[in-house]
């Protein structure tokens, strides 16, 4: 249980994890801090600390956080980036194969500034067709790059954008502003159902992702188009195609996901 733990020591194993800030700051400032809560905003994991500051962790693609209980025994941890040791003897281990992940200690105003730049949370009750319609209105850019823009909607990654657009039967290159009312409604529902299903299956373990309890996710077993280039579309049996949108690999069914409104 992270909430209530007091940090005894912060060991930065790989200095790249704190970029662009200096790694010494964590080791100097974290000891003695108590965790008052654990929350998520977009793709950021937040350890809220008593006093208002915040430890903000972003796993990117290959980061893995593991909660290790006291007396769990020795374990070999490849790609170690950071270890937080708690006064009770438990610890939190951050591994990251590709070293893209980050951990930062932010003051309350710094955190407010970072999270204030993020768009709304798609899984909240207030997010729906009405709010999505406002976000796409007059936006002349591919709907997929809009979905990936964290300042527009928070938390949608490449996998989930592809899968949500397929579920909504919308071509990833459609101009966001060209979506009609029915399409906006389908897309808002598809975003929610895709994210909910992924959470239920504990995420997508394409390579090394593991939950905090060390388990692999299973959402990748249910991908309908993502990374399925050349395979049959589950909707029509046609061939799934691949293209690039905003520099990201993009998978879709050209039959089910039309460029024309409908």
Partner DNA sequence: CGTTAGCCCTGCTGGC
Partner DNA sequence: TGCCAGCAGGGCTAAC
Q: Any idea what DSSP says for residue 232?
A: B
Q: For the window 8-47, what string marks contact with DNA as x by the rule CB under 7 A?
A: --------x-------------------------xx----
Which range touches DNA (CB under 7 A), out of 5-13, 151-159, 192-200, 232-240? Answer: 151-159
Which range touches DNA (CB under 7 A), out of 80-88, 209-217, 230-238, 246-254? Answer: 246-254
What whole-number distance in Å separates Cα of residue 137 and Cα of residue 140?
9
First to last CA, the chain: 48
Among 73, 140, 237, 260, binds DNA (CB under 7 A): 140
Among 29, 34, 185, 248, binds DNA (CB under 7 A): 248
Task: Determine the size of the site formed for DNA (CB under 7 A).
Answer: 29
Q: Which of residues 60-119 bind DNA (CB under 7 A)?
A: 60-62, 79, 97-100, 114
3-state secondary structure of 25: helix
Q: Mention every residue, 6+ apart, whose C-beta is less than 8 A from residue 102.
A: 17, 18, 19, 56, 57, 58, 60
Q: Mention every residue, 6+ apart, whose C-beta is less than 8 A from residue 229.
A: 240, 241, 242, 251
Which range touches DNA (CB under 7 A), out of 81-89, 134-142, 194-202, 209-217? Answer: 134-142
Q: Which residue intervals of 6-142 are DSSP H helices?
A: 24-29, 108-116, 129-136
**Sites of contact with DNA (CB under 7 A):** 16, 42-43, 58, 60-62, 79, 97-100, 114, 139-142, 145, 148, 150, 157-159, 207, 242, 246-249
């Amino acid at each position: 249980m992270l909430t209530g733990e007091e940090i005894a020591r912060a060991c930065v194993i790989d200095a790249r994890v704190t970029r662009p800030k200096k790694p010494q700051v964590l080791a100097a400032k974290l000891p003695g801090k108590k965790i008052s809560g654990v929350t998520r905003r977009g793709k950021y994991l937040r350890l809220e600390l008593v006093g208002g500051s915040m430890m903000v962790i972003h796993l990117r693609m290959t980061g893995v956080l593991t909660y290790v209980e006291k007396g769990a025994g020795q374990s070999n941890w490849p790609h170690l980036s950071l270890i937080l040791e708690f006064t009770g003897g438990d610890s939190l281990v951050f591994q990251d194969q590709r070293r893209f992940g980050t951990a930062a200690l932010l003051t309350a105003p710094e955190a407010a500034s970072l999270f204030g730049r993020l768009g709304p949370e798609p899984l909240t009750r207030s997010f729906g067709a009405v709010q999505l319609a406002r976000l796409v209105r007059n936006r002349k850019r591919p709907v997929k790059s809009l979905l990936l823009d964290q300042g527009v909607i928070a938390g949608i990654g490449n996998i989930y954008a592809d899968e949500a657009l397929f579920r909504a039967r919308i071509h990833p290159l459609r101009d966001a502003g060209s979506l009609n009312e029915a399409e906006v409604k389908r897309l808002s529902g598809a975003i929610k159902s895709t994210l909910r299903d992924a959470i239920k299956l504990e995420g997508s373990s394409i390579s090394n992702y593991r939950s905090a309890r060390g388990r692999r996710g299973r959402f990748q077993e249910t991908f309908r188009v993502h990374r399925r280039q050349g395979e049959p579309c589950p909707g029509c049996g046609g061939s799934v195609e691949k293209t690039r949108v905003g520099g990201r690999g993009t998978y879709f069914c050209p039959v089910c996901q039309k460029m024309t409104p409908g």
